[in-house]
Structure 1
């Protein structure tokens, strides 16, 4: 598994960017770059489960491993969701269970730097190399205009 890194400078307060990232309405907007209609179900608290879902109920079951408001969020991906249900860990899932995805906001002289990392299997790398920059551009646009 490879760790992919993405970043973008945003001219907005960290609090605004954080809200764009994790508030339901704007979360749905920027994650549409990955899959139209994507949403998350969680209380967004550290240690809580989170379900990343497509409109058909497929997706990922994860854990909010670390949450430092306005600074850092880390998700540990645990398994698959099918038809809104958590699936048992099988041989294919075992390869990536425990993969991490992180988001960090850092104030710099050039604005706020949003950095994200994600552990990714080789067969999905090109997809995320193509789509993640598009998603971050949407976060930037929403943060700078709202």
Structure 2
């Protein structure tokens, strides 16, 4: 499994970037780059379960491994959700789970440097390399007030 790194400088305070990134309805807006209609169910609180879903209800079952508000978030992906059923034990899932997606927020140049480190597996590497930069540009526009 590989880890991909992405980062962007956003001209907004860390708290605004963090809130815009993780709360509805802006979460759904910037993540639409990955999948139109994407959403989450659950809590961003450390130790809590969270599900990342497409409009059909398929997606990832995960937990928040660590969360320091406006500083760091670590998501531990544990399995897939398909046709309403969670799979955290199949051989296909055990080949990659758990994997992590980490967000780091730091002050820089009057704004916020957002760093994303995400483990990728299978056929997702190229898609993530292409899509994360677009998603971060969308998040930047939301945070800076240039996208509605």
Q: Indicate whether the TM-score tops 0.5.
A: yes
Q: Within 1, Cα distance between the matches of 2:83 and 2:16? A: 33
Corresponding position of 2:109: 109
2:62 matches 1:62: yes
How much is the aligned-residue C-alpha RMSD, in angstroms?
A: 1.2
Aligned partner of 2:51 in structure 1 is 51
Which deviates more, 63-72 or 122-131? 122-131
- Three-state SS of the structure 2 residue aligned to 1:24 is coil
Cα distance in structure 2, aligned partners of 1:46 and 1:88: 20
Change over 3 Å in CA distance of 1:88–1:99 after alignment to 2: closer
Alpha-carbon separation, structure 2, partners of 1:122 and 1:53: 19
Q: CA deviation at 1:90?
A: 0.8
Q: Secondary structure at the match of 1:74?
A: strand
Does the CA contact (< 8 Å) of 1:9 and 1:110 recur in 2? no
Partner of 1:33: 33
Instruction: Work out the number of aligned pairs and report it.
Output: 146
The corresponding residue for 1:42 is 42
Find out whether 1:86 has 2:86 as its counterpart.
yes
**Consecutive unaligned residues in structure 1, runs of 5 or more:** none
Query: Per-residue deviation at 1:99?
Result: 0.3
For the residue of structure 2 that corresponds to 1:125, the secondary structure is helix
For structure 2, the residue ranges without an aligned partner over 5 or more in a row are none
- What TM-score do the two structures reach when normalised by structure 1? 0.96
Q: Deviations over 1:32-76 (max 9, x none)?
A: 000000000012210000000001010000010000001110000
Structure 1 distance, partners of 2:139, 2:87, is: 31
